[in-house]
Structure formats: C-alpha cells, structure tokens
Chain A
Amino acid sequence: EIVLTQSPDFQSVTPKEKVTITCRASQSIGSSLHWYQQKPDQSPKLLIKYASQSISGVPSRFSGSGSGTDFTLTINSLEAEDAAAYYCHQSSSLPWTFGQGTKVEIK
C-alpha cells in the first residue's frame, strides 16, 4: 500500500499570504496524484488532477506541481473562503490512499 504523508498537518495563515502544502508518497506514483478541498460540513471537492492539471471552475490561485514521490499544492493569495482541509489522493495503484489531510485556518 502506498502511504501519502502531508505536511504540515495544520497551518494558520493571514489573508493574501501564500500557502504551500506538500504530499510525499512512499513510492513513485508518476503524476497520479490529485488534490481535494473539504470545507466544514461539506463533501470533498476536486481542486487539481494529475498533480498539476487545473479544474474548470476552481480559482486560478490554486495550483499543483510535482511528480514521482513529491508533490505540492500552492494557494496564492489566500482568501477567507479557502479555510478548509486539503487532501492528496493517489490513484496509481490499488488500494488507493489519501494523505492524512492539512487543515488551513484563517488568522
């Protein structure tokens, strides 16, 4: 089973700051890494697919990068509505797995 480790677990950030969340895989997964946002009491929402591909309707301040074992989700100029938990997910091999999540709080 591929283990995904996110860092940090929690981040408290001021609006307009840049946020960087990393996701490290226990073995190479190519670009089969996706990012989701989950706001309180809501379902997860797809933010980035295949490590760096944007999703229609998702604000351009969200971007992803990486391949192999190291991946990054970047939120440029954080807005109040971005307060949420963020999860990475690998679909390279079964069983699929998620990272443990990163909670982003707005100061």
Chain B
Amino acid sequence: EVQLVQSGAEVKKPGESLKISCKGSGYSFTSYWIGWVRQMPGKGLEWMGIIYPGDSDTRYSPSFQGQVTISADKSISTAYLQWSSLKASDTAMYYCARLYPGIGSYMDVWGKGTTVTVSS
C-alpha cells in the first residue's frame, strides 16, 4: 500500500526552528515528486512547493520561496519541510502528497498532515 506518514504535531515559540517530515512507503520514493501544501486554520489549500527525491530538484511557490526549505533524504525515503525562524503566521496544518505520475500532474496520495502551532 502506498503511504505517506507525517511526523507528529509540533508546538513552538516564535523565532524557533523546525523540521517536519514525510516518509514514503509502498512505492519507489525516488521516482515521484513530493509536494507540500499549507492549510491555515479555517482556510483553503495553498501549494508551497515540490521536490524530486531522486535528485533533490526543488521548486517553490513565490509565496513561500525564502520562507521555508524543502529537502529529501532518499536513503530513508523521507521528505522534509523546515523553517529557520518560525512566526505566529506559520501556525497551520501542513500536508505532503505524492505527485502522480510526474511534475505536471495531480496529487494522488496524501499524508494525514502535521499540525504546527507557533505561540509565545
């Protein structure tokens, strides 16, 4: 079964750093792009960026370029989303999803999401 398992909920203070993860299983992790999507409380979906774990080719939405870093470790089939200095406005649910079959395609499998709460 194809699965994306995301790391658990996080509670952080403004200015702290954070790295959340998304582990793929049941398929060739290096052969499919992984995307990250933000959902702020009570709001819609926002596309953040994508990464190809095979060679770490990464594309960002202009809205998130420079605000987050997307990376992957293909040796452990895991993609990451990280912040160097969190803000209260980063409070949201973050989903990872697999792009099938390639970059110009749809997201067929989604993780359950990681809740990030940033509060002083």
Contacts and interface: CB of A to CB of B under 8 A. Distances in A.
A46 interface: yes
Nearest to A93: B104
B13 to A, nearest CB: 26
A34 B106 contact: yes
Contacts, number: 60
B59 A94 contact: yes
What is the predominant secondary structure among interface residues of chain A facing chain B?
A: loop
Interface stretch (B24-32, B67-75, B80-88, B109-117): B109-117
Nearest to B61: A95
A18 to B, nearest CB: 24
B112 A95 contact: no
B38 to A, nearest CB: 10
Contacts of B105: 49, 91
Given A43-B112, A95-B61, A95-B62, A32 B104 contact: yes
B62 A98 contact: no
A105 B47 CA distance: 25
Interface in A28-60: 32, 34, 36, 38, 43-46, 49-50
Interface of B: 35, 37, 44-47, 50, 59-63, 95, 97, 99, 103-108, 110-113
8 contacts: A1-B62, A34-B106, A34-B107, A44-B107, A46-B106, A50-B106, A87-B45, A91-B106
Q: What 4 pairs between A and B have smallest CB-CB spacing?
A: A34-B106, A43-B110, A95-B61, A101-B44
Interface of A: 1, 32, 34, 36, 38, 43-46, 49-50, 85, 87, 89, 91-92, 94-101
